[in-house]
Amino acid sequence: MEEDIKKRLERDLRLAASRLRRMGALTAIEERPGPLGANSLGADEGDVIQANESREIGFATREVLVARVNRLSAALDRLNRGEYGICVECGEPIARARLRALPEVQRCVQCQDGLERRRLERGDERLTLRT
């Protein structure tokens, strides 16, 4: 069972990392100041706005992916140390069904709920994206 989890984590990590690399390459090209910048006389205003919007979506997706890569590699670390499946907060084992659904989780349901409540109380919406 642990071997299956390891394979799944490694595969997910590879996928997320390669998506991130492709995205990074794409963004680098977009960000390079070219002759057709926003101050170009030929640029249509609508196109510029649309380009900015899709760039923002790209940033958001990239942040989510970076967080996922971090979580997945942390999960692999814990697996290698024999700490996988143990809640980082209370030290209790995380339910198998939860690990199967979300192999990179670090907390049991109770601690995750508490964490999300604390985040909501602080009004930190950005962090609720992360597991």
CA-based torsion, 39, 45, 51, 55: positive or negative: positive
Residue at 29: amino acid letter: I
Least distance to Zn ion, CB of residue 105, Å = 10
Count CB-CB contacts under 10 A for residue 101: 9
CB nearer to Zn ion: pick between 29 and 101: 101
Least distance to Zn ion, CB of residue 87, Å = 3
Q: How many residues bind Zn ion (CB under 5 A)?
A: 5
Q: Which of residues 92-131 bind Zn ion (CB under 5 A)?
A: 108, 111
Spell out the residues 6+ positions from residue 112 whose beta carbon is closer than 8 angstroms to its own: 105, 131
Counting Cβ atoms within 10 Å, is residue 105 exposed (0-12), middle (13-18) or buried (19+)? Answer: buried
Residues 84 and 70 sit within 8 Å (Cβ to Cβ): no
CB nearer to Zn ion: pick between 69 and 111: 111
Q: Which of residues 32-91 bind Zn ion (CB under 5 A)?
A: 87, 89-90
CB nearer to Zn ion: pick between 69 and 85: 85
Q: Which of 74, 85, 90, 89 is nearest to 16 (CA)?
A: 74
CB nearer to Zn ion: pick between 65 and 95: 95
Least distance to Zn ion, CB of residue 22, Å = 36
Least distance to Zn ion, CB of residue 89, Å = 5
Residues of the shown chain interacting with Zn ion in the complex, contacts defined by CB under 5 A = 87, 89-90, 108, 111
